[in-house]
Amino acid sequence: MRAMPVEVLHGSLEERVLKYLLEAYPVTVEDLERELKVNRDRLDRLMKSFLQRGIVELEPLPDRTYIRLLRSDFHFTGIQPTQRRRYKQSGGKKQTGKDYEGPMYA
């Protein structure tokens, strides 16, 4: 039986962390904190969630904790920036009469 892909909401902190982990290895918790400019408490909660879901494994060493990605089957869901509806802007180029040549002086 094949495992279902992990669904991740587009634009979330989960997406940012997972994409960084997919691109870079080895990564420490301190690297994530510095690169993504995220509070340490938020990262700890997210790592705990990833551990429970079986997405990552933490490898503690005496001076650092490395994060190892166990899965790579992610499905990023939500509205992509290219799918957002563009707002129609009112206004536009002002039209002037064809015989208008500039200010008139009397």
What's the pLDDT tens digit per position in 54-106? Answer: 999 999 899 988 999 998 888 888 766 665 555 555 555 665 556 666 676 65
Alpha-carbon distance 42 to 14, whole Å?
A: 11
Please name each of the domains of the chain with its CATH number.
Answer: 9-75 (1.10.10.10)
Is residue 76 a contact partner of residue 10, using CB atoms and an 8 Å limit? yes
Determine which of 17-26, 41-50, 63-72, 77-86 has the lowest per-residue pLDDT on average: 77-86
Alpha-carbon distance 55 to 35, whole Å?
A: 20
Residue 35 has pLDDT above 60, yes or no: yes
The four Cα atoms 90, 96, 97, 98 give a dihedral, to 10 degrees, of -110
pLDDT at 92: 57
Task: Report which residue type is found at 18.
Answer: L
Alpha-carbon distance 98 to 100, whole Å?
A: 6
